[in-house]
Amino acid sequence: MPQSLAHMLVHLIFSTKDRKPVLSKEVREELNAYIVGILHHYNCHPIIVKAVEDHVHILFFLAKDVALSKAVERVKSSSSKWIKTKSPALANFRWQYGYSAFSVSQSNTDTVRAYIARQEEHHRKVSFMDEVKKFLDKHKIEYDDRYLWD
């Protein structure tokens, strides 16, 4: 095959350091748009980006020439630098060290998009930590609770 073709849809989740609820509604709305811009810059096309007070969900197509770890690094480092400029209270802002990423079937795109869109409502019932554990279990990813959070 003379050309490289890829279709990798990723559901990415990461939290603020220590899951601190520091992202105000105003910052979140701008942050969502800022992350969309970062992804576009690297030819990773976002479907939905949704930040809540202490974490972010992103559904996006990973560019065929960008490693997942590099895409995550670019999103987190660029957005962290940007967040620090939004308020003196955010001057020491940090994202958690790790992240969770899951492949999504094209047939599940609408379901995952709707799930991400409902994050505020969802987290009135389920904590971020329980949510991540459910995803890890569903995708059969082994983990050690002692090292899951920083």
d(CA 35, CA 39): 6
117, 50 contact by CB (below 8 A): yes
The pLDDT assigned to 136 comes to 82
Show pLDDT as tens, one digit a residue, over the chain (150 residues): 578 878 899 999 999 999 999 999 999 999 999 999 999 999 999 999 999 999 999 999 999 999 999 999 999 999 999 999 999 999 999 999 999 999 999 999 999 999 999 987 867 777 777 787 887 888 888 888 787 777
The pLDDT assigned to 137 comes to 82
**Six-digit token string for 61:** 């197509």
The pLDDT assigned to 4 comes to 81
Domains of the chain, with CATH numbers?
Answer: 8-148 (3.30.70.1290)
The pLDDT assigned to 128 comes to 74
Taking Cα atoms as reference points, which of 124, 8, 135 lies closest to residue 59?
Answer: 8
Q: Is 113 exposed, middle or buried (0-12, 13-18, 19+ CB in 10 A)?
A: middle
The pLDDT assigned to 134 comes to 85
Q: What are phi and psi of 3, to 5 degrees?
A: -125, 160
Coil/strand/helix, residue 12:
strand
